[in-house]
Structure 1
Amino acid sequence: MAANSIDRISIIDGNDLNRKNRTGIYVLNESKKTLIETSSSPSVPFILDGLCSLGIDPLEIEYIILTHIHLDHAGGAGLLLKHCKNAKVIVHKKGARHLENPSRLIAGARAVYGDDFDRLFDPILPIPPEKIIIKENGETLQISDTTTLTFFDTPGHANHHLSIYDPISNGMFTGDTIGIYYRELKDDGFELYIPSTSPNQFDPDKMLSALSIMEEKHLDAIYFGHYGCSRNTSEIYKQIRYWIPIFTNYAKDAFNQGESFEDRVELAYTTILSDITGYLADLGITEAHPVFEVLKLDIRVSSMGLIDYFAKQEQKVL
């Protein structure tokens, strides 16, 4: 199905990267109907189909909330507005100008995805400034008589990252700031959560601080951008805390050993992938499992962000 009910909250599968259970668009079916995330533009037909299956007219959508402006979360916002004509887009103050003029977003994504960019993301349409609402840390949004969402500034994955607290489910929509949930492994009886350290604003200390915000709220649910709801919050915190130092230690070694950016990324990618492969092998998950298709992509992109982080650290020292 295009949309699956999670209590009063539904998730639409955006089929990002032509994969199921990859990127989710959340629907809050309140009096002021609200979407959280849009995925990229190729996901828009799936969103429209999902809304139809929920009995929601796109013209009923009043708010489209973006956790951050990376294209797999926000790239489809401009195109979706063509259908959700009454909606306003809510974003972090550091992301707003890039929605109005997405040229730098496009250039950054082309650098990462190369020849695959058009297939994965095109078109990326600018959003008129009058359609944009900025939310800052601690600000709220009332979407019904009983539901007021609260926004938290949660950098670590990106400096323009918001997490959104829903008091009814005692849940947080976390985008990428505390990692990725690999739903493919749930049928095997195992949960895997790893940090998303993609270019170019990864910061391990800020990511751990964002995680502490979630922990201190004693959440009952975390709604991941990739992908879906998990109620096993203690396991999420444990695994992200486990993997962040492993990622950074391998990347630091790769940065010190490699001569070029590409060499360093390859070294980091190889060592991180090897560790995760061994970790999963101990649980009976072999490299033949379909999860490795997306794991390899995520680890490669995360390796780029890790090496970029250490390059910036070196520049600070100099």
Structure 2
Amino acid sequence: MSQPKSMGYNMSLIDLYDLSLEQRTGSYILHEKEITVIETSASPSIPHLLKGLEQLDIGLDEVKHIIVTHIHLDHAGGVGLLLEKCPNAYVYVHPRGQRHLADPSRLIQGAKAVYGDSFDHLFDPIVPVPEDRIITKNDGETLKVGENRTLTFFDTPGHAKHHFSIYDSLSNGIFTGDTLGILYPPTETHDFELVLPSTSPNQFDPEDMLLSLDRVEDLGVDSIFFGHYGKAQNPESVYEQIKFWLPKFVEIGEKEYDLTANLPFEEKAKSVEAKLYQMISEFLEEKGVPSSDHVHQHIKVDLAICAQGIVDYLQKKQVS
């Protein structure tokens, strides 16, 4: 297990080894008078989070704020389990996510539909959060966590309707969860930062995603802190990459959707996944990243879910 990484600005990043993958999902710790945890990942990651807090010499009774950008289980599935161990903490969530943290039955049902027999291994247990320990934050509302640090919450749909991003006044950075996609740190060894859209089901909307991107871009931040994974110090590159890749994801989805019109959902998604991976593999090869590089493992995991979200989006679009 790696040590927590200092991000500057009284902030640390703990690797949560989501899906047993290094640099897959992280939790950000703000070392202020009121200790703040941003993102928890799923319950199997909580031991890594607890160990990281211990390495940072933070007592669980010192944790005051636990914030989840959205309620997908790889970001918030472990929040109830963590809260049981943090007696003085409250959980902050988008208003659309509140009831699902209090009663996660629909979250569990939806995840089982996507992950099938792998659900227990990936996500169990999912512990309900007591309603009196949930605080919602509407668009533009703030939370002061230190003398010189205020967090501002921005409604940023596109990846999900229950998603907010959190602007940090001290770092002039923003925690974007999955709204601005996924950063792949392994590519940094090849002298570039790869960012791809996260289009997972079941509320993916490319138009909303681009509107949210525009809103973040207008803030003029210096850094973007990704749920998956780490800090991008060149926000302009992030915006450019999402604007480049997102239309291509949708275009491939539309083409494969038409070609597989008579096939079931699963087959449509597999076809989209294969074409997406072919496109990105060719791009990586041009960048000098070999097929043996472990970044491919991360990308394959993500594209399987992204393809399902694209097909789900196109199905709903066709019905409407």
Cα deviation for residue 75 of structure 1 reads: 0.3
Give the equivalent residue in structure 2 for 1:157.
Answer: 159
Give the equivalent residue in structure 2 for 1:281.
Answer: 285
Quick check: 264-273 or 59-68, which moved more?
264-273
Give the equivalent residue in structure 2 for 1:268.
Answer: 272
Mapped partners of 1:280, 1:141: distance in 2: 40
> Residue 82 of structure 1 aligns to a residue in which SS?
helix
CA contact (8 A) 1:2 1:46 kept: no
> Residue 308 of structure 1 aligns to a residue in which SS?
helix
CA contact (8 A) 2:158 2:179 kept: yes
Give the equivalent residue in structure 2 for 1:141.
Answer: 143
Matched residues, number: 316
Please give the TM-score of this superposition, normalised by the length of structure 2.
0.97
Cα deviation for residue 2 of structure 1 reads: 3.2
Quick check: 134-143 or 289-298, which moved more?
289-298
Give the equivalent residue in structure 1 for 2:213.
Answer: 211
Mapped partners of 2:298, 2:109: distance in 1: 23
Mapped partners of 1:256, 1:263: distance in 2: 12
CA distances 1:190-217 after superposition (whole Å, capped 9, x unpaired): 2100000000000001100111111111
Matched residue type, 2:155: D
Quick check: 10-19 or 260-269, which moved more?
260-269
Mark the runs of 5 or more structure 1 residues left unpaired by the alignment: none
CA RMSD of superposed structures (Å) = 0.8
Identity %: 48
Mapped partners of 1:297, 1:254: distance in 2: 20
Give the equivalent residue in structure 2 for 1:117.
Answer: 119
> Residue 274 of structure 1 aligns to a residue in which SS?
helix
Mapped partners of 1:155, 1:180: distance in 2: 15
CA contact (8 A) 1:2 1:49 kept: no
CA contact (8 A) 2:190 2:288 kept: no
Cα deviation for residue 272 of structure 1 reads: 0.8
Cα deviation for residue 29 of structure 1 reads: 0.6
Runs of 4+ in 1 over 3 A off after TM superposition: none
After TM superposition, list the pairs within 5 Å mapping 1:167-316 onto structure 2: 167-258=169-260, 259=262, 260-316=264-320
Mapped partners of 1:291, 1:256: distance in 2: 30
Mark the runs of 5 or more structure 2 residues left unpaired by the alignment: none
Give the equivalent residue in structure 2 for 1:132.
Answer: 134
Cα deviation for residue 286 of structure 1 reads: 2.1
